[in-house]
Amino acid sequence: MKILIFEIRKNFLKRYLFVTLCLLTLINIFMIYDYYKENHVFSTEQTNRSEVFWNLYKGKFKGKITNEKINALMEIYTPLYQICAVERSYSMEYDPETYTGYTFGDYRMLDLGFVRPMEYSYMYRNHALEIADKAMENLEFFRSVDNNYQYRSNLKIASLFGDRQVTDFYHTEMYENLFRYDFSSFLILLMSILALVPVFVAEKETEMNLILSTSKKGGKETINAKILSSFLYVIIISAWFYIFDFLAFSYFYGLTGLNNQLYALKDFMLTPLNVRMWEFIILSAVVKIIGLMAVSSMILFLSSIFRRALLPYILSLATVFLLMLFNEFAKMKFINPIELIANRELFKNTGFIKILDFPVHKFIGVILSVIFLAGAFVLATKMTSKNNASLGRMKERK
């Protein structure tokens, strides 16, 4: 434990890292605000349309979907739809009798903010049942042709979708944009490169590794402490940025519906996960951190094999950009940490991989593959560092 604390203090409790963290946090918040300004539909800003939307949302339509709410909404929306979408006879003049001041403004607000999302929520039950029923129909066929894998796959699909329904209506704009936002992960990667490259290389530059290699605890325990402290650093930095992401998006877009189902988002209508929004926020962050730790294991390996810091910095940056590039190729996704770091695509659709004639969720396969990759780089780092220590002891004897 003392060695671990020493490595944390030596490698990560540095002023330049703290200053960089503060600077990148401010940049991240600015980027979220800029992203919000470009992508928001109904903000929390005190504009006329936003105030009207949130008053209607909180006062009339938020929560349990009931026939009374649907009828109340359609009573307002139907005449506006007739005027604006069918007859196109709406006036462009300011009308104080409308919610937003303009007839077309009311139509767009109700259409985008209430009618379409509520219709999706209300109809999702039917859509999920269609998928489950189709899967059940397939069971008999695949049983008859003795295709156990497809039989088990369809059985899983039927089980996943059979009981799904969205019973509550919540404004989901915050979640839609939060789950698309990846810039903070890129900043974490930069912070990881900045801090992790010197972990092994710094001691070789100052030849401290020669002294440590001859000390009682300068070998295996020190190497393990360096790796563990590096992973703790990545976990803490990641948690810092992802918590700020959540707080910033909640502030700008408005926080509501944390307990709503993930598949209440249209982008996730086919997700393999039956989880709530708050559960997916945590799960997504954990999966991202696994991917970030895998990239960090590569950075540590580069740090362990070079004697000067410049080349590991360059190669670490190149590795990150190559991983991003290769993630565009489907065959590379299965073992690419970037697939976990930008994981929304991984969880959007239900897919399986075949293992011993059993269907295993694709996301589980990717997570296990990336963990295996990270383990391989950690092992390689330990072996390289051990060899370096052995060479150091040989030099000391000479």
Judge if 325 and 255 occupy the same domain.
Answer: yes
Average pLDDT value for the chain: 89
Q: For residue 254, give the amino acid letter.
A: G
Judge if 221 and 319 occupy the same domain.
Answer: yes
Judge if 33 and 83 occupy the same domain.
Answer: no
Residues contacting 242, CB < 8 A, separation 6+ = 184, 285, 288
Judge if 211 and 311 occupy the same domain.
Answer: yes
Residue 159's domain spans which residues?
48-169
Domain final residue pick, 144, 169, 194:
169
Domain final residue pick, 169, 198, 220:
169
Residue 106's pLDDT band, with cuts at 50, 70 and 90, is confident
pLDDT at 254 over 70: yes
Judge if 218 and 321 occupy the same domain.
Answer: yes
Judge if 22 and 72 occupy the same domain.
Answer: no
Per-residue model confidence as pLDDT tens digits over 57-74: 999 999 999 999 999 999
User: Which segment of 181-195, 328-342, 364-378 scores lowest on mean pLDDT?
Assistant: 328-342
Which pLDDT belongs to residue 95?
Answer: 82
Residue 388's pLDDT band, with cuts at 50, 70 and 90, is low
Judge if 367 and 233 occupy the same domain.
Answer: yes
Per-residue model confidence as pLDDT tens digits over 121-158: 999 999 999 999 999 999 989 999 999 999 999 999 99
Per-residue model confidence as pLDDT tens digits over 361-370: 999 999 999 9
Q: For residue 30, give the amino acid letter.
A: F
Which pLDDT belongs to residue 237?
Answer: 97
Burial of 243 (0-12, 13-18, 19+ CB in 10 A): exposed
Domain final residue pick, 135, 169, 203:
169
Per-residue model confidence as pLDDT tens digits over 163-186: 999 999 999 999 999 999 999 999
Judge if 263 and 115 occupy the same domain.
Answer: no
Q: Which residues of 97-128 are buried (b: 16+ CB within 10 A; e: fewer)?
A: ebbbebbbbbbbbbbebbbebbebbeebeeeb
Judge if 199 and 163 occupy the same domain.
Answer: no
Cα separation, 387 vs 23, in Å, equals 38
| Domain total in the chain | 2
Write phi, then psi, for 307 (nearest 5 degrees). -100, -10
Determine contact, residues 128/162, Cβ cutoff 8 Å: yes
Residue 47's pLDDT band, with cuts at 50, 70 and 90, is low
Judge if 376 and 241 occupy the same domain.
Answer: yes
Which pLDDT belongs to residue 332?
Answer: 78
Judge if 63 and 153 occupy the same domain.
Answer: yes
Judge if 384 and 275 occupy the same domain.
Answer: yes
Q: Which of 201-210, 222-231, 283-292 is predicted most confidently?
A: 283-292
The 3-state DSSP composition of the chain as helix, strand, coil percent (nearest 5) reads 75, 5, 20
Per-residue model confidence as pLDDT tens digits over 176-217: 999 999 999 999 999 999 999 999 887 775 556 555 555 555
